[in-house]
Amino acid sequence: MTDWLSSRMSLPSLGGLGWLRIVWRGGALALLCYGGLALLVVLRLVERPIHGVARPLTPWITVVVCRLAVRLLGLHMRVHGQPMAGRGAQVANHAGWLDIFTLNAVQPIYFVSKSEVAGWAGIGVLARAVGTVFIARKPTEAAEHARLLAGRLAAGHRLLFFPEGTSSDARRVLPFKPALFAAFFADGLRDEMSVQPVTVVYRAPPGLDARFYGWWGDMEFAPHLLQVLARPGGSVDVMFHAPVAVRDFADRKALAGYCGAVVAEGFRSTISG
């Protein structure tokens, strides 16, 4: 086990002011998320019979909810570059559960997640409602993944993957695993698909551990959520790099290596700036 994965953050006690923030921020966040979910479900009842798998309206509810959530959590967001236009996928580094709010706040996007997430209490319900694509991360199922992804891309969906395969301590970019990239090279996708690398960099609130927004190893969700709710906000940078055509790469390993290097360089330049 690497040093960063086994290390833990030392954080001060929540204190009275911290608990006050937890109460009002937590209540507002719950109302925002589940109120938005209720509105989304109702609108989806109208949208689905007309548009099927396509979702021309409901993703914007997710965008608005996540933008408000980012502000509610006190995060100052800076966006560099532009999200890709047209069909394709984005690949980003993964610091933790906050990425869901951060990346959804910038654009309509559909996450591609491991199948286990669908069964997680609370999170699984939200993930299914907003159209998350659930897959088993096995290279042997690349053909089935390609069929599923091709259907979503044909519906105009922009997909987002976390190729590191796990979240980190928000202070590094882990190597991109090539398995998820295999589906991009299937017939019907390779010649028409583009991939956009995206770098996400968090900065902790003043005086706190630089890894504050990271969620890694065997950290539990609830204690980390309480810490985020209790503290003054930090900041997050989201950097959209130039998209690349899948057909320009020999195989999944070459594409994964390129995207990982671009994201890592963006991370280094941003965190040192």
SS3 category, 86:
coil
pLDDT tens figures, 150-177: 777 777 788 999 999 888 999 999 999 9
pLDDT of residue 192: 83
Residues 191-228 have pLDDT tens digits of 888 999 999 999 999 989 999 999 888 888 888 999 99
The predicted-structure confidence for 89-116, as pLDDT tens digits, reads as follows 999 999 988 998 999 999 999 888 777 7
| pLDDT classification of 266: cutoffs 50, 70, 90 | very high
Q: How many percent of the chain have pLDDT more than 70?
A: 94
**In the prediction, which pLDDT does 81 show?**
96
- Strands 88-92, 194-203: pairing is parallel
Residue in the block written with tokens 């659930």: 134
What distances in angstroms separate CA 187 from CA 53, 86, 120, 149, 225, one per listed residue?
22, 19, 33, 12, 42
Domain extent listing, the chain: 11-271
Residue 52 CA to residue 207 CA, distance in Å, equals 49
pLDDT at 10: 76
Supply the pLDDT for residue 191: 86
pLDDT at position 137: 65
Binning the chain into helix, strand and coil, the percentages to the nearest 5 are: 50, 15, 35
Could you report the per-residue pLDDT of 15-35, keeping only the tens digit for each? Answer: 899 999 999 999 999 999 999
CATH topology of domain 11-271: Glycerol-3-phosphate (1)-acyltransferase (3.40.1130)
- Which pLDDT belongs to residue 1? 46
Residue 131: what pLDDT?
A: 77
pLDDT of 242-252, one tens digit each? 999 999 999 99
Residue 142: band (very low, low, confident or very high) from pLDDT cuts 50, 70, 90: low
Mean pLDDT value of segment 121-132: 72
Q: Per-residue b/e over 239-251, b at no fewer than 16 CB within 10 Å?
A: bbbebbebeebee
Answer yes or no: is pLDDT of 133 > 70: yes
Mean pLDDT of the chain: 87
- Predicted pLDDT of residue 87: 73
Residue 106 has which token pair? Answer: 């910038």
